[in-house]
């Protein structure tokens, strides 16, 4: 098994090896709890694993009562822009590294 890499605002790993949907649901639940169930913006890229990881993130966030604004497939900078424009509590960007940031509201 390859190693999972965890930074202050991101997680990296080989999808299906160290990086599993179950793990991503757990990270999303923790992030949603930390955001206290407020609005979180989610965006993703076109990689094959993106749809699966996206479903895991949305499931975890919804389970904590977060309102999820799903931007679908979108360039990374637009996700951060949407957080500021919408006054959201945070964002999730999928992949290459799964990135979680707290908004600036």
pLDDT tens per residue across span 49-76: 888 899 999 999 999 999 999 999 999 8
Query: Is residue 27 predicted with pLDDT exceeding 60?
Result: yes
Which comes out higher in pLDDT, residue 17 or 42? 42
Which tokens hold the place of 91?
A: 């964002």
How much of the chain, in percent, has pLDDT values that exceed 90?
48
Please say if the pLDDT value at position 105 is more than 50. no
Q: What is the dihedral of CA 44, 98, 88, 70, to 10 degrees?
A: 30
- In this prediction, residue 49 carries a pLDDT of 85
Residues 6 or more apart whose CB falls under 8 angstroms from that of 57 comprise 24, 25, 28, 42, 92, 94, 98
pLDDT value of position 100 = 59
């Amino acid at each position: 098994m390859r190693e999972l890499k965890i930074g202050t605002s991101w997680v990296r790993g080989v999808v299906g090896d160290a990086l599993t949907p179950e793990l991503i649901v757990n990270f999303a639940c923790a992030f949603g709890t930390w955001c206290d169930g407020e609005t979180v913006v989610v965006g993703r890229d076109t990689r094959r694993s993106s749809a699966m990881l996206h479903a895991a993130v949305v499931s975890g966030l919804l389970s904590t009562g977060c309102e999820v604004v799903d931007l679908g497939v979108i360039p990374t900078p637009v996700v951060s822009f949407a957080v500021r424009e919408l006054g959201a509590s945070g964002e999730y960007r999928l992949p290459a590294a799964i990135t979680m940031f707290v908004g600036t509201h």
